[in-house]
Amino acid sequence: MYQRIRMLVRLLTCFLILTGVAVQRNGSIFGHDLNAPEVEATNDSSPLTRVDGAVVVNTSSIAKDIRGFGGSVPLEITIKDGAIANIEPLKNSETEDFFKRASSAIIPQWLGTSVNDVSAKHVDAVSGATLSSNALNATIQEGVAYANGFMQESDKESVPDFEFTWKFAVVLLVVVCAALLPLFVKNKYYRFSQLALNVVVLGFWSGTFLSYELFINYIANGVNVWQSLAVLLMLVTAFVYPYFGKSSHYCTWLCPLGSIQELCGKSVRYKLKLSSKAVKGLNVFQECLWFALIFIMMAGIWFDWIDYELFKAFIFKSASIGVLIAAAVVVLLSFVVQRPYCRFVCPTGCLFKITQNPDK
């Protein structure tokens, strides 16, 4: 019981630290903008304006509850001659590269669409930027519906900011299997299959994993529960399972980067011999790195390091060259060193270790 209390204290401490980082970086907490002045509504604050025979809709207020990965995705939608003439993204908290990729693919498909066809139209999400894509689609539909007067006040919460798809179902199924089956099934063939699914489905296909960017965005902007079911279950395995004796369950059974390292390691019998002194030194390095990265974020010096976590390599079309090269080095090294990134570098994994180990 005493150990569990210490673990809980550590978890709450880390949560408060990340909350401070989220406020420092985004200026908001759970979707509430701490820097926004309270302004009284006026007749001039309408999201609808008319310009040169066109209707311009600003979705900042009417679609504020529709969230992507980092928060709402306000748009300025121009409707002319009964069709969408232009869509201009406004300032948002989405990851710039992923949002640019999603918007450049999504927005052109809506241009020219008749306002009467908008509610029934379906535009596929961009792989690797699903949350931003879904938020863009839902925001466009709500903005046009508002302009047409089709949306009733009581129906606002039913806007399709969540859509059940086969991709969502497959990702959720893989996460559920990894979260539950290892508690009952002890089989090397199942383990190999689960690791492979993690890499293919959670990694390359959907880009579903835990990272500092995700933690900070959730704290800053809140969570859409239905849209984030798979990720929320991952969070349970990472932060709740340890209280029931299942430490490192996420890292061992769910993390796609950990999975690909283990699969590579299993394919080669030879392993480099690391002395206990070297292992201890590398563990100290990981902890020092973690404290340094947290400190610089708390100080507001450099938030962009979270864009260089190697998980981003799975979304290779949006990942930087540096991340791709570093990820390739880690994969090659994992053939002869057991999970090198997980054990000696990963800042996200270090957070899990700190919250799970009351003796550190």
pLDDT in tens, 252-284: 999 999 999 999 999 998 889 899 999 999 999
Average pLDDT over residues 214-236: 90
What is the pLDDT confidence band of residue 359, given thresholds at 50, 70 and 90?
Answer: low
What is the pLDDT confidence band of residue 45, given thresholds at 50, 70 and 90?
Answer: low
Residue 266 has a pLDDT of 92
Report how far residue 151's alpha carbon sits from residue 103's, in angstroms, rounded to the nearest whole number: 24
What's the predicted TM-score (pTM) here? 0.72
Q: Kindly tell me if the per-residue pLDDT of 124 is higher than 60.
A: yes
Residue 26 has a pLDDT of 80
Q: Kindly tell me if the per-residue pLDDT of 157 is higher than 50.
A: no
What is the pLDDT confidence band of residue 161, given thresholds at 50, 70 and 90?
Answer: low
Closest CA to 230 of 308, 183, 317, 164: 164
Closest CA to 19 of 292, 69, 11, 238: 11
Q: Kindly tell me if the per-residue pLDDT of 152 is higher than 80.
A: no
User: Identity (one letter) of the amino acid at 109?
Assistant: Q
Most confident of 65-79, 97-111, 126-140, 275-289: 275-289
What is the pLDDT confidence band of residue 153, given thresholds at 50, 70 and 90?
Answer: very low
Q: Kindly tell me if the per-residue pLDDT of 360 is higher than 80.
A: no
Report how far residue 196's alpha carbon sits from residue 309's, in angstroms, rounded to the nearest whole number: 21
Q: Kindly tell me if the per-residue pLDDT of 127 is higher than 80.
A: no
Q: Kindly tell me if the per-residue pLDDT of 154 is higher than 50.
A: no
Average pLDDT over residues 19-45: 68
3-state DSSP assignment of residue 148: helix
What is the pLDDT confidence band of residue 42, given thresholds at 50, 70 and 90?
Answer: very low
Extended strands (E) in 120-268: none
Count of beta carbons in the 10 Å neighbourhood of residue 271: 11
Count of beta carbons in the 10 Å neighbourhood of residue 302: 10
Closest CA to 196 of 212, 177, 214: 177
